[in-house]
Amino acid sequence: MGAMTEAAIDNRDTRERILDAAEAVFMACGYDGASLRQITGEAEVNLAAGHYHFGSKEALFQAVLNRRLHVLNQERLRVLDEMEAKAGGAPLKPSQILDAFFGTLLRMAIAHGDRGQTFLRLIGRTLTEPAEFIRTVLSKEFADVLERYKAALFRALPEVPKEEIVWRFHFMLGATSYAIAGTDTLRLVTDWQTGAIDDDLERLLPRLMSFLLGGLRAPLPAAASPNPQPRGNGRTRRKKP
């Protein structure tokens, strides 16, 4: 019995080591650029162990995502449930909803230190360059939580067309994914300097939230406004009697 228990612990440790290594390699190289051999080498286990525990690179990547995304999205739902219970049926503030969805992601990354930051960058990279099978994985993980948050935003912003809210949430996801992916494009094209994301998550959070909330609250474009303004300078000329 003791030997079986030892073997089970050994297997669990090996599996976790592979997952940790895969998280870092996928973050650095992307899904297409990583290999199972490279990952098992980083984990200091043989290639056979990778095949034994996960079967394929695709299954391993799915396990890496599921391991943390499930916890993250459960926390998002818990926070939303708690806020809605406190609101007693009244709509939530848009700022509360954005903080519960996007803020929870960054706070969990901060709480988990280096591993949390690695996964944060992996999520950013995955959302900006997903393979087809990854879309399926993300769809399963996000379906329920996105529906709940979409409904909360619809209630919080009844004067904004629903289609416009969906567009703005799409833009917010894109901005967040880009911000957390760790790619500093500004340095590629200009000499503008920003702090390294890895060293600045706590300062990134209020900056990002301010930006997202500003976008959500921006005036409606003419095409989406219930009462679109006439073309030109926006003023209607009074006809002479």
CATH of 8-55, one of 3.80.10.10, 1.10.10.60, 3.40.1400.10, 3.90.1150.10: 1.10.10.60
What span, in angstroms and rounded, lies between the C-alpha atoms of 41 and 44? Answer: 5
Q: Please, is 54 exposed, middle or buried when counting C-beta atoms within 10 Å of its C-beta (0-12, 13-18, 19+)?
A: buried
* Res. 235: pLDDT tops 50: no
Q: Which of 29, 175, 35 lies closest to 101, judged by CA?
A: 175
Spatial CB neighbours of 121, under 8 Å, sequence gap ≥ 6: 27, 180, 181, 182, 197, 198
Dump pLDDT digits (tens) for 93-110. 999 999 999 999 999 989
Amino acid at 171: F
Instruction: Give the mean model confidence (pLDDT) for residues 62-81.
Output: 94
Confidence (pLDDT) at 96: 97
In the chain, the percentage of residues whose pLDDT exceeds 90 is 58
Confidence (pLDDT) at 131: 76
Dump pLDDT digits (tens) for 166-206. 999 999 999 998 888 765 555 555 666 655 554 577 888 89
Confidence (pLDDT) at 195: 56
Confidence (pLDDT) at 227: 58
Q: Please, is 239 exposed, middle or buried when counting C-beta atoms within 10 Å of its C-beta (0-12, 13-18, 19+)?
A: exposed
Q: What angle do CA 84, 212, 205 make, to 5 degrees?
A: 85
Q: Which of 152, 148, 176 lies closest to 75, judged by CA?
A: 148
Is the pTM higher than 0.85? The answer reads: no
- Would the CATH topology of 8-55 be identical to that of 68-216? no
* Res. 154: pLDDT tops 60: yes
Please report the beta strands in the chain, taking only residues with DSSP state E, as ranges in sequence order: none
What span, in angstroms and rounded, lies between the C-alpha atoms of 55 and 237? Answer: 71
CA-only gyration radius of the chain, Å:
22
* Domain covering 68-216: architecture: Orthogonal Bundle (1.10)
Confidence (pLDDT) at 115: 87
Confidence (pLDDT) at 157: 97
Confidence (pLDDT) at 226: 61
Confidence (pLDDT) at 69: 92
Confidence (pLDDT) at 204: 86
Give the start-to-end residue ranges of the domains of the chain: 8-55, 68-216
